[in-house]
């Protein structure tokens, strides 16, 4: 019997946990073809989510709970779940129930047919604001153009990974990146399954604008050199334009076409635009350099504060990493 690990990051989802518990229990009991385990990673919630999850794990042996020592973000929480899971495959599932748990069985069927990665691709997003949809469209469109052409146009963060894909991912030490983009970049045999992303069962999204912007920058910097190449191209264009303008000024002065003092406005405009462009370029370089520095420091991307039950797969298997930095 194949074992499937369902990995679920959770942050302040106390209102959704009872509904999630009911639907996942029904899913786990609906088939004898697979053995399930649920690894819930509490991303340092400030409500009673962790207590509810521990109470669930006390009566359900298929449930294990990890609590991170600080709020690290959903991608770090997913990495923590991957480092701890024991299954032959793993499925990412959102705690807000926007991704229907019942689709896991269809994803598992695609996996058994030979796919190493099965992506559930959104065809629609129910209950989302227009601003959220526009940001998502801009993000995935930019990503497809600059970095990963194979990224689904509507985006995806609901997927199943085979054990060999999990192990390959855990050997990659890069921290400031997009987990979904990394899995797509890794290759393997991948298939796509369309579905409709549902509205939240309750509560509000914790996916703030700041987190979205960081993910956007991480994704572009990690998988594309286009910003650096664009800086070089802009530098060449401005150098050529500046040289042409300087030559025109010399010729105009010699020919008497202009009088002294009339070029002040043009000079100030060129200086302001030029300095603004230089600062923008320095900011782009800084994004690349900061990520290089952060990787060099070697800090783990997460620290597990508490596990329930206390013993987990990483404690029994010394070959797997126990914290946020994969073993080299």
- Judged by DSSP in three states, 245 sits in helix
Residue 160: CA atoms inside 13 Å, Cβ hemisphere, count?
28
| pLDDT above 50 (res 82) | yes
194 assigned to some structural domain: yes
User: Domain check: are 31 and 122 in the same one?
Assistant: yes
217 assigned to some structural domain: no
| Domain that residue 117 falls in | 2-206+299-316
User: Domain check: are 293 and 308 in the same one?
Assistant: no
CA-CA distances (angstroms) from residue 124 to 119, 133, 137, 190? 15, 10, 12, 21
Q: What pLDDT is stored for residue 275 in this prediction?
A: 76
25 assigned to some structural domain: yes
User: Domain check: are 154 and 248 in the same one?
Assistant: no
- Contact call for residues 78 and 183 (beta carbons, < 8 A): no
Q: What pLDDT is stored for residue 97 in this prediction?
A: 80
3-state percent breakdown (helix, strand, coil) of the chain, nearest 5: 50, 15, 35
CA-CA distances (angstroms) from residue 235 to 239, 255, 301? 6, 30, 36
User: Domain check: are 282 and 303 in the same one?
Assistant: no
89 assigned to some structural domain: yes
Distance CA 61, CA 58 (A): 7
Q: What pLDDT is stored for residue 264 in this prediction?
A: 63
User: Domain check: are 236 and 311 in the same one?
Assistant: no
326 assigned to some structural domain: no
Give me the CATH number covering residue 166.
3.90.550.10
User: Domain check: are 105 and 119 in the same one?
Assistant: yes
In the chain, how long is the greatest CA-to-CA distance?
92
pLDDT digits (tens, 9 = 90+) for 288-305: 887 778 777 777 888 888
98 assigned to some structural domain: yes
User: Domain check: are 57 and 200 in the same one?
Assistant: yes
User: Domain check: are 148 and 258 in the same one?
Assistant: no
User: Domain check: are 163 and 286 in the same one?
Assistant: no
233 assigned to some structural domain: yes
129 assigned to some structural domain: yes
pLDDT digits (tens, 9 = 90+) for 165-178: 999 999 888 877 77
Distance CA 12, CA 24 (A): 19
| pLDDT above 70 (res 152) | yes
**DSSP assigned state of 299:** -
Q: What pLDDT is stored for residue 180 in this prediction?
A: 83
Number of domains in the chain: 2
User: Domain check: are 142 and 24 in the same one?
Assistant: yes
DSSP assignments along 179-234, one per residue: HHHHHHHH-SSEEEEEEEEPPPSSS-----HHHHHHHHHHHHHHH--HHHHHHHHH
User: Domain check: are 25 and 154 in the same one?
Assistant: yes
User: Domain check: are 188 and 145 in the same one?
Assistant: yes
What predicted TM-score, i.e. pTM, was given to this entire model? 0.72
Burial of residue 40 (CB within 10 Å: 0-12, 13-18, 19+) is: buried
């Amino acid at each position: 019997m194949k074992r499937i690990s369902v990995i679920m990051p959770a942050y302040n989802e106390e209102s959704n946990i009872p509904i999630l518990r009911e639907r996942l229990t029904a899913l786990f009991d609906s088939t004898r073809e697979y053995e399930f385990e649920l690894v819930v990673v509490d991303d340092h919630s400030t409500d009673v989510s962790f207590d509810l999850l521990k109470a669930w794990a006390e009566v359900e042996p298929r449930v294990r709970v990890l609590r991170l020592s600080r709020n690290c973000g959903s991608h770090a929480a997913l990495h923590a779940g991957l480092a701890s899971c024991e299954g032959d495959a793993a499925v990412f599932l959102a705690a807000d129930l926007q991704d229907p748990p019942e689709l896991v069985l269809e994803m598992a069927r695609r996996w058994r047919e030979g796919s190493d990665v099965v992506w559930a691709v959104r065809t629609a997003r129910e209950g989302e604001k227009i601003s959220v949809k526009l940001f998502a469209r801009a993000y995935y469109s930019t990503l497809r153009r600059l970095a990963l052409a194979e990224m689904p146009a509507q985006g995806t963060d609901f997927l199943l990974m085979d054990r060999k894909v999990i192990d390959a991912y855990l050997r990659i030490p890069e921290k400031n990146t997009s987990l979904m983009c990394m899995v797509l970049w890794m290759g393997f045999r991948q298939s796509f399954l369309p579905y409709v992303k549902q509205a939240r069962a309750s509560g509000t999204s914790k996916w703030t604008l700041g987190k979205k912007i960081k993910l956007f920058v991480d994704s572009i910097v990690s998988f594309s050199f286009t910003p650096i190449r664009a800086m070089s191209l802009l530098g060449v264009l401005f150098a050529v334009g500046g040289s042409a303008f300087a030559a025109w000024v010399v010729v105009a002065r010699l020919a008497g076409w202009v009088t002294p003092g009339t070029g002040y406005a043009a000079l100030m405009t060129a200086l302001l635009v030029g300095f603004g462009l230089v600062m923008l370029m320095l900011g782009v370089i800084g994004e690349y350099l900061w990520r290089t520095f952060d990787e060099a420091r070697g800090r783990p991307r997460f620290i597990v504060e508490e596990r329930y039950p206390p013993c987990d797969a990483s404690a029994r298997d010394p070959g797997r990493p126990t914290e946020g930095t994969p073993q080299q």
